Amino acid sequence: MDLEDKSFCVSRETMLKNIALKISYIGKNYAGWQIQKDVPTIQGEIKKAIKKITGEDKIKVIGASRTDAGVHALCQVANFITSSEIPPERFKYALNTVLPDDIRILKSCEVDMSFNARYTPCEKTYKYIIYQGEIIPFLKDFVLSIKSELNIEKMQRCAEMLVGEKDFAGFTPEKTNTQRTIFKSQITKKGKFIIYEIKGRSFLRYMVRNIVGTLILVGLEKLKEEDFEKILKGEEKARFTAPPHALYLADIKYLGYDI
């Protein structure tokens, strides 16, 4: 009987699978990624969808990034442990049949049990889109319209200051552990669109939006480049947080995983 019990436990363990999801969503109708009481969230909708197709009640959905209310994702990554017999690659199709239209699973696959979307080392890319001029109605929920001319050269010089290992205390309300490493910080102009791209291992609360807001003030020449440098040194705090609706979690890459 003891042997049978042990055998049963082992077989139950081997049934468990760690499923990774590549997710895209429009953030407009949600209070961000993280589950909150009495408001719709991306994590909450995905958890409900998994429960619906698997019947499992205690699923924990772990996200790579806790995007703010209104922020969009071209590529968010999450994982969950399941004993469901649904093939890993079929979760994409099954979940998309029950999720709202503004949340889509782009890919589902099995990963090692040690994989954790939040804590497994990765590289994240955020993009912020500014539209130079009178806003086109169907773009209003996806870009920030600025009618005034922006000094792109000054913005780019300030953006380049962020590359490397820095203390970003001036760009976040967080008080501790504010050191971060940035691999890329770049402004690109394409016609009427100005795109800010920032790439790093991890980001602090409101960090990207505060950086963008400060770059905009530099571009409008309401802040000098020296003022930007003071904020970066922590001598002052960022004065403008860019609105969330033009921010995108654009890409996440994990070493050794093709998600």
Catalytic residue IDs: 68
Sequence-distant (6+) residues with CB within 8 A of 228 are: 158, 161, 214, 215, 218
Strand, coil or helix: 163: coil
Tokens standing for 206? 């409101």
CA 163 to CA 153: how far, in whole Å? Answer: 16
Q: Is 131 exposed, middle or buried (0-12, 13-18, 19+ CB in 10 A)?
A: buried
Taking a C-beta distance cutoff of 8 angstroms, is the pair 102, 41 a contact? no
Q: At what angle do helices 152-160 and 207-219 cross, to 10 degrees?
A: 140
